[in-house]
Amino acid sequence: MEHIVIIGNGISGVTLARHIRKLSDKKITIISSESDYFFSRTALMYVYMGHMKFEHIQPYENNFWKKNRIELVNGYVEKVLPDQKTVSLSNGSKIAYDTLVIATGSKPNKFGWPGQDLEGVQGLYSKQDLDKLEQNAPNNKICKRAVIVGGGLIGIEMAEMLRSRDIPVTFLVRESSFWNGVLPNGESEMINEHIREHHIDLLLDTNLKEILSDENGRAKAVVTDKGETIACDVVGLTAGVTPNIDFLKNSGIELGKGIKVNRMLQTNIEDIYAIGDCAEQHEAIGLRRPIEAVWYTGRMMGETLAQTLCGNPTEYNPGHWFNSAKFLDIEYQTYGWVFSERNKKEYEEHFHWRHPKEKLCITIAFHKDTHEFLGINNFGIRLRHELFDRWLNEKRSVEYVLEHLKDANFDPELYETYEEAIVSKFNQDFHQNIRPKKKSWKRILNLA
Ligand SMILES: Cc1cc2nc3c(=O)[nH]c(=O)nc-3n(C[C@H](O)[C@H](O)[C@H](O)COP(=O)(O)OP(=O)(O)OC[C@H]3O[C@@H](n4cnc5c(N)ncnc54)[C@H](O)[C@@H]3O)c2cc1C
């Protein structure tokens, strides 16, 4: 019987294993060094914040794996030996495979900062990082201040976590405004305000220069490139992630920043594949990045590869870009492409609306000549994913989207709605006379 060995028990590896089991009787082994059982990495923050226990973020009962004949090995793969079709583990054991899938995820970036390996300096990625944070920052007596370095999604999560225990936080962000390499200016500025409202000391345009040590080898302060010294007990390094692939050097598997794969998610070695955060497409798919460190694409890659490995060769086709996140209290969703000013395409025009008082806003991108709708970012207002997917497929105009915006609203009944104000601002900005149509369930369900 074919033996499929998967390295990594994150969302990518586990989705693959589950789908192979649905489709076949093949022997499946998952090797991972982080935890015995799969857990939801995106929910780690809620464990620290006391909303959940670690067991609650494990989506499957512990007997699920045995019941489904998925063998779990807790171990670290030190080497892949393609000639021998085996992997060797740090405990000296070897496991033979017929097909190998690498799903080893990412690791937090470190840029060689002096002091980056001191006690009290840590990333936020793994279960071990969560345990470390619990030790380093159990309360504001032991951790009197934390400094977080790097203004992305993980940085703001870490800030929220620490603030939930009333720990003062300084947030060093290299950019001139929070996440403005991704978000258009209006949105990024709104998030700056929101961060400060949460009493987080946001320092923009500021880089980490070095971390200072006390006499016991623990971090005691950071020095910024502005010459400021900030006393602290914990330093969170959240300046992005890179594929976790160091153990593959000299294995013969082609590597770039990640593990190079084709659209079948296959490496340069026929029976070795890579999925999830660690996989790098030879050529980017559409406007996507060659490496996408997001949850749902890992799941999609797992589902796709299971088809291929079970006799139905299938190309990875992620469809239209979408994503969602939370910035403290503000929910964010994005469908299609809305680029920041820094990365805006020459054909891309933006319409931006922001509520005069509340932290609500949207930005719609459209083609400035054809008016084709390209994408939407929405903050604090929930919009229907499947409708935007449809409108993108149908290449609808921005005017059509605004006229039908009430159909897209996904907020619970009786929530205040903002479509009239949004459309009125669009009419003003672009000298139009669009009248929003009443919400129609027939249209939403595509029955009209
Ligand atoms: C705090 C945090 C919050 C996030 N929030 C979001 C979010 O809201 N939305 C979103 O889309 N994405 C989010 N992400 C990103 C998302 O979690 C990742 O994209 C996703 O978990 C990647 O899944 P994966 O299966 O590719 O890899 P991983 O989840 O990283 O799993 C890989 C596993 O392989 C193990 N491993 C690595 N090397 C070896 C080896 N040599 N031997 C044995 N085992 C090994 C690792 O220890 C790990 O357990 C977040 C990430 C973090 C850290």
Q: Is the CB of 36 under 6 A from ligand 1?
A: no
Residue 349 lies in a domain: yes
Q: Does ligand 1 come within 6 angstroms of the Cβ of 325?
A: yes
pLDDT digits (tens, 9 = 90+) for 349-361: 999 999 999 999 9
Whose Cα sits closest to atom 33 in ligand 1?
8
In this structure, the answer to whether residues 98 and 69 fall within a common structural domain is yes
Residue found by looking up tokens 């009333």 in the block: 166
Condensed to tens digits (0 to 9), the pLDDT of residues 139-159 reads: 999 999 999 999 999 999 999
Amino acid at 150: G
- Any domain includes 314: no
Whether 34 is in the pocket of ligand 1, judged by its Cβ within 6 Å, is yes
Rounded CA separation 117/53 (Å): 29
Q: Which of 309, 344, 359 is the last residue of a domain?
A: 309
Cα–Cα distance for residue pair 162/387, rounded to 1 Å: 37
Tell me: pLDDT of 115 over 80: yes
Q: Do 331 and 438 share a domain, yes or no?
A: yes
**How many whole angstroms from 361 Cα to the centroid of ligand 1?**
30
Residue 414 pLDDT: 63
Q: Is residue 317 part of a domain?
A: no
User: Does residue 392 surpass a pLDDT of 70?
Assistant: yes
Q: Are residues 152 and 216 in the same domain?
A: yes
Owner of token pair 């589902």: 303
Nearest residue CA, atom 7 of ligand 1?
42
Angle (nearest 5°) at CA 416 between 413 and 417: 95
Based on the domain organization, do 335 and 406 belong to the same domain? Answer: yes
| Nearest CA owner, ligand 1 atom 50 | 42
Contact 234, 143 (CB under 8 A): yes
| Domain boundary, last residue among 262, 277, 309 | 309
pLDDT digits (tens, 9 = 90+) for 169-189: 999 999 999 999 999 999 999
On average, the pLDDT of the chain sits at 96
For atom 31 of ligand 1, which residue has the closest CA? 10
Return all residues near 18 (Cβ < 8 A) that are at least 6 apart: 68, 70, 302, 306
What's the rounded mean pLDDT across residues 120-132? 98
- Tell me, what amino acid is at 223? V
336 shares a domain with 287: no
Domain contains 316: no
Say if residue 232 is in the same domain as residue 304.
no
170 is written with which tokens?
């300084």
Is any atom of ligand 1 closer than 6 Å to the C-beta of 89? no
In a domain, 255, yes or no: yes
**Of 239, 268, 300, which residue is a domain's last?**
239
Mean pLDDT of the 269-274 span: 98
Whether 156 and 231 map to the same domain: the answer is yes
- Has residue 411 got a pLDDT over 90? no
For the domain that residue 82 is a member of, what is the CATH number? Answer: 3.50.50.60
**Whole-angstrom distance, CA of residue 189 vs CA of residue 201:** 15
Q: Is residue 29 part of a domain?
A: yes
Asked if residue 416 and residue 338 are part of one domain, the reply reads yes
Q: Are 370 and 268 in the same domain?
A: no
Residues 107-136, mean pLDDT to the nearest whole number = 97
The domain that holds 394 is classified in CATH as 3.30.390.30
246 and 102: one domain?
yes
Kindly report the protein residue whose alpha carbon is nearest to atom 39 of ligand 1: 104
Work out the number of other CB atoms within 10 angstroms of the CB of residue 83: 8
List, as one string, the DSSP characters of 183-226.
Answer: S-HHHHHHHHHHHHHTTEEEETT--EEEEEE-TTSBEEEEEETT
pLDDT value for 181: 95
Residues 292/280, Cβ–Cβ less than 8 Å: no
Mean pLDDT, residues 338-344 taken together: 96
Q: What is the pLDDT of residue 354?
A: 97
Ligand 1 centroid–CA 241 distance in Å is 10
Q: Which two tokens stand for residue 203?
A: 């320092």
pTM of the model: 0.96
Of 5-9, 333-337, 381-385, 414-418, where does mean pLDDT reach its minimum? 414-418
Residue ranges of the alpha helices (H) in 310-440? Answer: 385-393, 398-403, 405-408, 419-430
Residue 98 carries which DSSP code? Answer: S
User: What is the per-residue pLDDT for 417?
Assistant: 84
d(CA 22, CA 16): 10
| Å from CA of 432 to ligand 1 middle | 46
Tell me which of 19, 31, 34, 238 to substitute to probe ligand 1's pocket, judged by most ligand atoms within 8 Å of the beta carbon. Answer: 34
Total domains in the fold of the chain: 3
Q: Are residues 251 and 233 in the same domain?
A: no
Residue 351, domain member (yes or no): yes
Query: Do both 126 and 81 map to the same domain?
Result: no
Residue 113 forms part of a structural domain: no
Please indicate whether residue 44, judged by its CB atom, sits closer than 6 Å to ligand 1.
Answer: yes
Domain with 29, as residue range(s), is 3-106+242-309
- Please write the tens of the pLDDT for every residue from 279-314: 999 999 999 999 999 999 999 999 999 999 999 999
Residue 389 predicted with pLDDT over 80: yes
CB burial of 391-402 (b: ≥16 within 10 Å; e: otherwise) equals: bbeeebbbbbbb
Determine whether the shortest distance from the Cβ of 276 to ligand 1 is under 6 A: yes
Contact between 124 and 220 (Cβ < 8 Å)? no
Question: If you measure from the C-alpha of residue 102 to the centroid of ligand 1, how many angstroms do you get, rounded to a whole number?
Answer: 12
